[in-house]
Amino acid sequence: MANKSIYVTQPSLAPLKDVIPYLERIWETGIMTHNGPLMQQLEKELSDYLGVSDVVCLVNGTCALQLAIRALDLKGEIITTPFTFIATSNIIAWERCRPVFVDIDPDTWNIDPDKIEERITEKTSAILPVHVFSAPCNIRRIEQIAKKFDLKVIYDAAHAMCVNYNGKSIMSYGDVSCTSFHATKLFNTCEGGACITNDEELAERIRRMRFFGFNERKEIVADGMNAKMTEISAGLGLANLRHLDYVRKNRQKKYEIYRSILAGCTFINFQKYYPDEYNYSYMPVLFDSEKTLLQTIEKLNAENVFPKRYFYPALHDTPIFDDITLPMAESIAKTILCLPLYDSLNEEDITKICEVILQV
């Protein structure tokens, strides 16, 4: 089909001319990191954009999850989903807690709230759900369960920039939401991430932890690490933030083209979502069988198109976590495929990708 290769994603980048003024400021001030002015500006602009009290910018989304677990002093077992990127459960284990997997909902592919209570024990300290591909978890039910069992809630909102839930940013729910600003995300700072919370005291603790345990007066008041966002990342983030609404709309348009062409396809299904509560950063499709999925990948690869099996396998089904049988997560992980979706992907390429799929 194409001479050029088409990969599953490409970074959304502001025009270079919009990034350069931020780089010039770094060259002028000589400040490259350490709670610098660009990072402070990015935190302020993001908290206004999201309507939350605190955004703590960090070196990546994995670190955001790690510091959230630490700052909430979680121990024992953390209830989570097996249908996510490995970072979510790895960091739970890295922090010496046990990830306890719960099966997922067949429509939203997020943690199934009806199955959470049966996995809670006296060792459970928190629930860590993921808004997969930006579709919101059942936040209302999760909040009820957390309240009933006195559990903390950390949302992994790595996919969920620009998503609202009940009229406010999805990032404002839970004790804290953790997000990723990785190059592949809707909003990126190359590498980067953030903890987002309305709990100012918690935000302060995370700020100290990211900066070796220093407080604002540079006194050592806690233990900590180095998880600061650099000024170069923050400058890129400020430029990208100006283009974010365009990026989201552009992806929505492309997502809808895929949906309209693939609408009649008998062996494909889609994630359930509501238009205001979705950011269209991924184009996940669910096949009726793994066999059809593998045939499709082969046909697309032959045309230089490289979709991605994402997330595969389900994490409870891996040698590191080998936990229990969770049929829905296993079935969805085996039959899910993310098709190419990014700003510069053109309509003609989408049409051709769909034609290949329809001929499988």
Ligand X SMILES: Cc1ncc(COP(=O)(O)O)c(C=O)c1O
From CA 87, how far away is CA 113, in angstroms rounded?
22
∠ CA 136-165-308, nearest 5°, is 30
Closer residue to ligand X, CB minimum distance, 81 or 335: 81
From CA 180, how far away is CA 196, in angstroms rounded?
11
Closer residue to ligand X, CB minimum distance, 47 or 66: 66
Closer residue to ligand X, CB minimum distance, 160 or 300: 160
Residue with nearest beta carbon to ligand X: 61
CB of 131 to ligand X, least distance (A): 8
CB of 143 to ligand X, least distance (A): 20
280's torsion region: left (phi>0), alpha (psi -120 to 50) or beta?
left
The distance in angstroms from the start CA to the end CA of the chain is: 15
CB of 274 to ligand X, least distance (A): 20
CB of 346 to ligand X, least distance (A): 25
Closer residue to ligand X, CB minimum distance, 169 or 350: 169
CB of 245 to ligand X, least distance (A): 22
CB of 210 to ligand X, least distance (A): 14
Closer residue to ligand X, CB minimum distance, 172 or 179: 179
Closer residue to ligand X, CB minimum distance, 158 or 341: 158
- Residues that bind ligand X in the complex, under the rule CB under 6 A: 60-62, 84-85, 87-88, 130, 156, 158-159, 180, 182, 193
Closer residue to ligand X, CB minimum distance, 156 or 262: 156
Closer residue to ligand X, CB minimum distance, 60 or 177: 60
CB of 61 to ligand X, least distance (A): 3
Closer residue to ligand X, CB minimum distance, 12 or 357: 12
From CA 205, how far away is CA 208, in angstroms rounded?
5
CB of 1 to ligand X, least distance (A): 28
